[in-house]
Amino acid sequence: MKNIIIIGSGIGGLVAGNLLVKKGHQVTIFEAHSMPGGYTAGFYRKGYYFESGTLSFEASASVFKAMRDIGVWEKIDFVKLSKRFVSEDFDGTPENYEDFKRMIYAGFPADKQKLDTVFSELDRTAGLMGDVNEPMPFLYSGLKMISSMLPYLLSGPKLMKLAKQYGDLTLTEFAARYFEKDSKLFKLFSGIGYPDMSAMLLEATISVMLTDLWTVKDGMQSWADILAENFRQLGGDLKLNAYVDKIITQNGTAVGASSRNTVYDADYVISAGDYKKTFLKLLDDKSLLSQELRDNIGSAAPSEGIFTVYLGLNMSNEELSKYMKVDHVFALDTKPGYDIYNSEDGDFFSKTSILLHSSSMVSPKLAPQGKSSLMLQAMVPYHWMNNWGGGDKEVYGQLKEKAMNAMIDRASRLIPRLKECIDYKDAATPLTYERYTHNTDGASSAWSWNPKKKFYKNGMSVNIETPVKNLYIGSCWAMQNGGVPGALAAAYQCAKKIK
C-alpha cells in the first residue's frame, strides 16, 4: 500500500483517486475550493442551478467506461445533447456531419464550388481520430490496450501523410485558402472549436459535437459529488478548503505536500491541476527543472479562457424552449471585425459568437417552478482590456457589466423577451475561473490548441511523468488538447503507474 497525495478534485483527480483507492492505496485529495469538481462543477443562486464552467463533454465511451470501472455508472444520469447552429444564413440542428454539410450548402448556394473543395479536403481526415464508440486505448492496459490501439496503428501511414498536410495548418490558414478574409464562410470555418486549432481536427470536432456531446441531467456538480462520495466510502480522504501551498521534495523525489501550515508525507504526489503552477509556484526546489524547461513552461500558451453569463429567468421552460428549440445553441456571428487576438477591442463581446445552454431544459428541477435558467458563454482574448482592468476593482466591475450586457443583447436576438424576464444575473471572467480552479489565465482546456504553440511535441501523447521522481500530472494538462478526455487519460495512466 502506498501513501498518495492528489492535488485537485477535478475529474482527473477524482477518477485517479477512486482508481487508486480501489487498488488498496491510502489516498488523500486536497481541494482548495469548498466543493469538489473543478471545472466540472456547479452552484445554485436564488434556486437556479448553473454549471461552473464545463457545460458538456465528449468521448462518452471513455467516460462511461471510467464510471463503470469505478462503480458509479448506475448513479449518474447522462443525457445526450443536440446542438443547434444559428446565423444570418442558416438555422438547423444537424444530427451528424453529413447533415451539417447539407445545412451549410443550403445557406450558401452561390458558394457550392468552394464548399465542394473544402468538404472534399475535410472528408480526407474523417475517422482519423478513432471510433467515438470505443474508449481511448489509454484507459486499458496489457493486451487489451494493444488491441485497442490496432486501428490507430493500421491507419498510421495515412495519418502521418495527412499530418504533414494539415497537422500544423491552423483553421485560419485553412479557411484563407478558400475564402476571402472576413467573409461569412471564412468566419464560419475559422471559428469552429478552439481558436486556430489544427485543421486536421475540424471534421472530427464537427462530428463529435453533433453525435457525442453529453451532459449530466442533475448537473455537473452531482457528478463530482457522486465521485467524491464514492471515494470517501472506499476509504479515501477528501480535504476541502485545503489549498496546497508547496510540493515537498527530497533528493529529487516528491515526498509530500504542505497545506495550512501542516506537512503531509507521501510516497507519490499527483498534481491534478495546472501544470504551470505545479512547477513554477508549488514545487519547493525549482532547481530540479532545467532553466530551459522552466522558460518553456513559463512561455507556453494555455488555451483561451471563457466568459460566462448566468441568468435566472422568470420564464417557463416551455416558453424558453420555443425560442431555443434545444438546450444547446451556437449563435454564430459572421460579421467582419471580430478578432479573438485583439485584447484591446472594447466591443469584442458585441461581435463574438456565443453559446447558449439551459440546464433547466435538461432537468426542470434545476430552476424554481415555472422558471428557467440560461447560460451564455464566449471565448475571450487573452488578458482582455488590460486583463479586465489591470487590478482596478471598479474598472473590473465596469468591464464585466459591459461584457455581460453585450452578451445578453446578442442572446436577445434569439430570445426576444429575455431582458424583461431576468430574475437573476451574474458573470464569471477568466479571472474568476483562475481564482477557483487555479488554471493559468482561466484556461478552459489546459494548453493551447494552436499547433504552432504546442508544449508537447506529440499532441496525442499522455505525459504524466515529470522531471521530479514520484511526481505525476493527473489532469487534462498531461495532454496538449486536454478537456475531460485528457483528464481521464491522465488519471488512468497515473493509476497504472503506481503499483
pLDDT in tens, 366-381: 999 999 999 999 999 9
At 130 the pLDDT is 65
The yes-or-no verdict on residue 363 having pLDDT over 70 is yes
Q: Mean pLDDT over residues 466-485, rounded?
A: 96
- 3-76+220-300+449-497 CATH choice from 3.10.640.10, 1.10.10.10, 3.50.50.60, 3.10.105.10: 3.50.50.60
Q: What's the pLDDT score for residue 150?
A: 76
pLDDT value, residue 153: 67
* Predicted local confidence at residue 148, as pLDDT: 82
- Domain map of the chain by residue range? 3-76+220-300+449-497, 84-212, 304-437
Does 336 have pLDDT greater than 80?
Answer: no
Q: How confident is the model at residue 201 (pLDDT cuts 50, 70, 90)?
A: very high
Q: pTM for this structure?
A: 0.96
Give the model's confidence band at 128: pLDDT under 50 very low, under 70 low, under 90 confident, else very high: low
Q: Mean pLDDT for the chain?
A: 95
Q: What is the mean pLDDT of residues 182-187?
A: 92
What does the CA dihedral 227, 228, 230, 233 come to, rounded to 10 degrees?
Answer: 170
Number of residues in the chain: 499
What pLDDT does residue 166 have? Answer: 83
Q: Is the pLDDT of residue 452 over 80?
A: yes
- Model confidence band, residue 493 (pLDDT cutoffs 50, 70, 90): very high
Predicted pLDDT of residue 53: 86
Closest CA to 273 of 440, 136, 461, 428: 440
Q: What is the pLDDT of residue 36?
A: 97
User: What confidence score (pLDDT) does residue 131 get?
Assistant: 73
